[in-house]
Structure 1
Amino acid sequence: MLRACAIEFGGSWDVHLPLAEFSYNNSYHASIGMPPYEMLYGRKCRTPICWGEIGEKEVGGSDLVLKTNEKIEIIRERLKAAQDRQKSYADRGRRSIEFKEERVGEVAYRLELPEKLSGIHNTFHVSHLRKCLTAQSTIVPLDEVDVNEKLGYIEESVDIVDEQVRKIRN
């Protein structure tokens, strides 16, 4: 966003940084359902034209007001474009998945974990889950996995002998 402002305003990003900050803090964010400034302070922010004023408000010349409002609008457009671009990148990797396990919310699931994994929170975001398509014979019993107190484990190499592979070699 600052790069776009620097190009738009002739390289003087430091002069326009307060306007970019104002635009960002007063733009609606879907994740919190309101602008960040309003979420933090519980009220809407005053316009940057009145930032330094205390007491009775007098607006400066109409040229200053118009130029400032134009710059804020340009910054808001750049911010919206950046958000849309980031959303499109994120949406590319998203998949709509639903599982039979206990659903907690739109994208969260609660799983039944064995007692040995009691140190792990049992609610997971859907992006951390994968559908299990393995055969029952390939499941490793948790009794054979030594999980330490930091929930880590040591990988060991294992020789797997498959009857099909043995027949082909002979």
Structure 2
Amino acid sequence: MTILEKMRQQLHTSVDQKCKYADQQRRSLTFEVRDKVFLKVALLKGAMPFNRKGKLSPWHIGPYETLERIGEVAYHLALPPALSLVHDISHVSKLRKYIDDPSHVLSYEEIIMDPKLYFEEKPVVILD
């Protein structure tokens, strides 16, 4: 066996090992039409809700509805007009499935402001 053949064999084994490792990390995601998904916006332009930057900026926003599947790995999303700078077709790696849960809905009470522009905090419930 020549040196060139040995190098080729080593190259093939290393490529096979890397492919095997990459396949272990890969996950196949499919969504149905009308499914709700979160969109990863860590580095997307124009998708900074509430003007948060750096560590406090959210990684995912949404949920948004999938309108159609485009090819094997892309989905067309129903994005609001506020995200007009973000392309509405996203790769499956940028999406995360949203599981509908009633506890995700937050209720809030309206803050009554005094004309002097301050408010008074009152406890809602005393637990102990």
Larger strand percent = 2
Which of structures 1 and 2 has the larger relative contact order (alpha carbons within 8 angstroms, sep 6+)?
A: 2
Larger helix percent = 1
Question: For the superposition of Structure 1 and Structure 2, which TM-score range results when normalised by the shorter chain?
Answer: 0.3 to 0.5
Decide which structure has the larger Cα Rg and report it: 1
Q: TM-score, normalised by structure 1?
A: 0.37
